[in-house]
Amino acid sequence: MAKKVILSIAAHGDDAEFMAGGTLAKLAAEGQELHLLIATDNDRGSHRLSTQELKAIARPEADAAGRVLGATSVTLLGHRDGDLCDLPQSRLRGELMEHIRRLRAEVVFCWDPFAPFENHPDHRALALAASDASSFSALPLFHPEQMEAGLEPQRVREWYWYSKAHWSTNKYVDTSATIEKKIQALFAYRGQMVLTLDDLLGEARAMGVDEERLAAVDPERFEQLIDLGVRMNDAKIGAEAGCEFAEAFRYQTLELPEILTA
């Protein structure tokens, strides 16, 4: 298998790990060159920590997760959590295009720009920017200042869009051999995992779950519930794919035009 350069584009630390961690770890283990890019610094994603505390842990947590997955590099753009939708789309597109060109990325992972019912504005904004950036990165007149800085046009050949609701899944990846790495990479994001647990408990209370049952959950020990939740979700996808654990994507690839093969 020829070595490929893969760029995972995520809005927040833990997005890529939840949606594609097993696949990214598998590709890295096969010798592919994996780069992780996170657009925000997770500075609002907590019921317990302050903005400054969240910013302080964003980099070390992302680096730790990257080491587990086998990433060559980890980049944080440092935008405000929740505000990607307020950035000019051309600015966000240009930032992503710069990374695609600099890394010579051939494969892009991100949220699906055309998935319905996505409730997070950061996911929606980043997905569209990633789609545009990876479509235009081969055109030198888009952001010519990057050409002047020594970069070259780069054509992306494959896209793995997260298939969150599986409405358009056309590719399953067997992650049975890498689910442990996925879970350990998620555990590296302690701030995000605590938020996930807090949100689960908050949703349960809002739905009227008995408080006595919820009191039995230790809010400082997220590992068991996260582990169980990931295994249940990926086993469900695995059952659709005919394997123990799997992840689902809407996959796109360049196709050779008919005119050139006629």
Q: What is the pLDDT of residues 38-92, one digit of tens each?
A: 999 988 877 787 888 888 889 999 999 999 999 999 999 999 999 999 999 999 9
Is residue 38 helix, strand or coil? Answer: strand
Task: Say yes or no to pLDDT of 210 above 90.
Answer: no
**Average pLDDT of every residue of the chain:** 91
Is residue 186 helix, strand or coil? Answer: helix
Determine the average pLDDT of the residues in 93-115.
97
DSSP code string of 57-102 = HHHHHHHHHHHHHT-SEEEEEEEPTT-GGGS-HHHHHHHHHHHHHH
| pLDDT tens figures, 5-48 | 999 999 999 999 999 999 999 999 999 999 999 999 988 877 78
Q: Per DSSP, what are the bridge partners of residue 174?
A: 246
| pLDDT tens figures, 89-102 | 999 999 999 999 99
Dist. CA 258–CA 63, nearest whole Å: 44
- CATH number for the domain formed by residue range(s) 5-256: 3.40.50.10320
What is residue 262's predicted lDDT score, i.e. its pLDDT? 61
| Torsion from C-alpha of 81, 199, 233, 127, nearest 10 degrees | -20
pTM score: 0.92
What is residue 259's predicted lDDT score, i.e. its pLDDT? 64
Dist. CA 114–CA 118, nearest whole Å: 9
Could you tell me the two tokens for 145? 């200042």
121 vs 205: which has the higher pLDDT: 121
| Confidence at 109, pLDDT banded by 50, 70, 90 | very high
Determine the average pLDDT of the residues in 132-155.
97
132 vs 204: which has the higher pLDDT: 132
Dist. CA 136–CA 48, nearest whole Å: 41
What is residue 92's predicted lDDT score, i.e. its pLDDT? 97
Pairing outcome for strands 5-10 and 107-111: parallel
Task: Say yes or no to pLDDT of 260 above 70.
Answer: no
